[in-house]
Amino acid sequence: MKASDFSYENPNSLNAALALLANQDGDVQLLAGGQSLMPMMNFRLAAPDTLVDLNGVKELQFIQETETSIEIGAMTRYVQLEQSPLVTQHIPLFAKALPHIAHSAIRNRGTIGGSAALADPAAEMPALLIALGATLNLQSLTGQRSVLADDFFLGLYETTLADGEIIESISIPKLASTDRTGFYELARRHGDYAMAGVAVVDRVVGDLASLRVVFFAISDRPVRDQKMEDLLQRPSANDEQQHLKEAIGQLEFHGDLNADAATKQHLAGVVLNRALKEMET
Amino acid sequence: MNQRHSISMTVNGEAITMDVPVRMNLVDFLRNELGLTGSHVGCEHGVCGACTLKIDGEMVRGCLMLAVQADGCTITTIEGFADDPRSDRLQAAFERNNALQCGYCTPGMLASALDYIEAGGSTDRTAIRQHISGNYCRCTGYQSIVDAIAQTIEEGQKS
Ligand SMILES: Cc1cc2nc3c(=O)[nH]c(=O)nc-3n(C[C@H](O)[C@H](O)[C@H](O)COP(=O)(O)OP(=O)(O)OC[C@H]3O[C@@H](n4cnc5c(N)ncnc54)[C@H](O)[C@@H]3O)c2cc1C
Ligand code: FES
Ligand code: FES
């Protein structure tokens, strides 16, 4: 099918985009990489009255370094993250995970901000952001606020983004060279949405020292479980596998087109063990 | 309402200025307005890869971009690859290996394969399969397509 008609706006600054978002009547939608919104429009699952294209807002495309973090503009594309030496050095988890997000033609367009705003429970990026302890910086005409990734994703395609807000950038605390990361996902075909996946970040130094385990594609949102993290931080006992299995059994699983809830529960254990194994080597 | 915008772009080396409906996607524009029917339309939601084309040097899905978004860009479709010697070798390898039957996937498959070859991709079959995983073929079973791509890379290494 084809998209229904809309007014097309192509602002060249964040302020102009914010003004359009706040002042246009009807359903106003932002267009980032279009790799999720365009399919929805072609299927008429989305039929915005006004489309505000962010591709001309160059101030949203950047990867910068501060002493403690990497700052990434919302319109930064997956391919730019893959090719960035700053990202490779300070966020090695991205280098492991990005090749699993769709296919290269999709990664040439899709953006980090679009994936965060969409909040697809099967997507890698929301889980990565939680595992990394990222902060999302949101901008509206009336002000700016910052939200931890832990608090940003509320459910199936649901976030804390309010009407009139745009994700401006995402701050990711740098990983130290002694920190370790793990990533594993099972998909039917390379690049497909996962049947189950997990991201693990083990920060051993600094204020953020902690172990984080975040599953994706198993529920209606990324799933982080404190009990499991505590368990994994204790010196491993003989019955660790049993404890892990019990901890996984207590998570809430939602089936989707790829696998039912019981299969996902089984696969969660598989991906976790494989990610942990990869971290040991 | 039928909103239109004027756009200018270079398509296969030719400068083009035109008025287009804003809701028209890029591959429909190329096919229906410019008559470049080499790029195919399969699924219209990014999954099949039949519409894959090159814009400002990067492979994209023609069904997931609006024509208005290509304003100011340089586009190469399968018709534009015809002058590229590497593309000639690849096409010959496709023919030799029976890497196409109905041909519906072929333009997108060639575009993805060329991208892989130009990026210095290896003859490793798993790597080739991963790269073309975003292109569906309902006829060949992929084996012969992987053969054709691997052979083209080997030929390139010899010459
Ligand atoms: C064939 C195919 C396979 C795919 N496979 C995967 C996969 O395996 N894993 C995966 O994670 N994704 C996958 N995707 C989706 C892809 O990653 C999308 O690019 C991504 O989810 C959305 O990013 P986008 O930039 O394209 O956003 P868009 O599609 O442009 O926008 C998505 C939504 O976010 C909103 N939005 C965008 N930017 C902002 C912003 N800065 N502030 C506020 N709201 C904003 C838009 O209004 C829209 O509602 C796949 C897509 C396709 C077509
Ligand atoms: S028609 Fe564009 S990917 Fe199928
Ligand atoms: S040759 Fe028919 S779909 Fe590939």
The pLDDT of residue B97 is: 97
Residues A51/B67, Cβ–Cβ less than 8 Å: no
The pLDDT of residue B83 is: 78
Would you call B61 and A106 a contact, using CB atoms and an 8 Å cutoff?
yes
| Residue span of the structural domain in which B50 resides | 4-80
User: Is A222 near ligand 1, meaning CB less than 6 Å away?
Assistant: no
Residues A271/A196, Cβ–Cβ less than 8 Å: yes
Residue B66 sits in the same domain as residue B115: no
DSSP conformation class of A77 = B
Q: How far is the CA of B99 from the centre of ligand 3 (A)?
A: 8
Residue B119 sits in the same domain as residue B97: yes
Smallest CA-to-CA distance from A118 within A9, A222, A3 is with A222
Q: CA-to-CA distance for A75 and A270, rounded, in angstroms? A: 34
The pLDDT of residue B92 is: 96
Residues B140/B101, Cβ–Cβ less than 8 Å: yes
The pLDDT of residue B124 is: 97
Nearest-CA residue for atom 4 of ligand 3: B137
Chain segment A163-216, per-residue pLDDT in tens: 999 999 999 999 999 999 999 999 998 899 999 999 999 999 888 889 999 999
For residue B11, list its beta bridge partners.
B14, B75
Domain C-terminal end among B80, B114, B144? B80
Residue B90 sits in the same domain as residue B114: yes
Number of CB pairs, chain A paired with chain B, less than 8 A apart: 90
**What mean pLDDT comes out for the span A38-52?**
96
Which residue carries 């990497």 as its tokens? A70
Chain-centroid distance of CA A210 in Å reads 20
Q: What does each of the 159 residues of chain B score in pLDDT, given as a tens digit? A: 579 999 999 999 999 999 999 999 999 999 999 999 999 999 999 999 999 999 999 999 999 999 999 999 999 999 998 878 889 999 999 999 999 999 999 999 999 999 999 999 999 999 999 999 999 999 999 999 999 999 999 998 887
Residue B14 sits in the same domain as residue B31: yes
Would you call A189 and B133 a contact, using CB atoms and an 8 Å cutoff?
yes
State whether residue B63 sits within 8 Å of chain A by CB. yes
Q: How far is the CA of B43 from the centre of ligand 2 (A)?
A: 5
**What mean pLDDT comes out for the span A40-54?**
96
Residues enclosing ligand 3, CB less than 6 A?
B 100-106, 137-140
Residue B75 sits in the same domain as residue B116: no
Chain segment A94-123, per-residue pLDDT in tens: 999 999 999 999 999 999 999 999 999 999
Q: What is the CATH classification number for the domain harbouring B36?
A: 3.10.20.30
**Phi, psi for residue B62 in degrees, rounded to 5:** -65, -20
Would you call B3 and A191 a contact, using CB atoms and an 8 Å cutoff?
no
Query: B13: which 2 tokens?
Result: 């080396």
Domain C-terminal end among B80, B105, B122? B80
What's the number of domains chain B is made of?
Answer: 2
Residue B65 sits in the same domain as residue B96: no
Chain segment A226-275, per-residue pLDDT in tens: 889 998 888 776 788 888 899 999 999 999 998 999 999 999 999 999 99
Q: CA-to-CA distance for A146 and A149, rounded, in angstroms? A: 9
Residues enclosing ligand 2, CB less than 6 A?
B 41-44, 46-51, 61, 63
Residue B32 sits in the same domain as residue B59: yes
State whether residue B66 sits within 8 Å of chain A by CB. yes
Domain C-terminal end among B56, B80, B104? B80
Residue B31 sits in the same domain as residue B74: yes
Residue B27 sits in the same domain as residue B56: yes
Chain segment A5-28, per-residue pLDDT in tens: 999 999 999 999 999 999 888 999
Residue B88 sits in the same domain as residue B141: yes
Residues B102/B139, Cβ–Cβ less than 8 Å: yes
The pLDDT of residue B1 is: 53
**What mean pLDDT comes out for the span A127-141?**
98
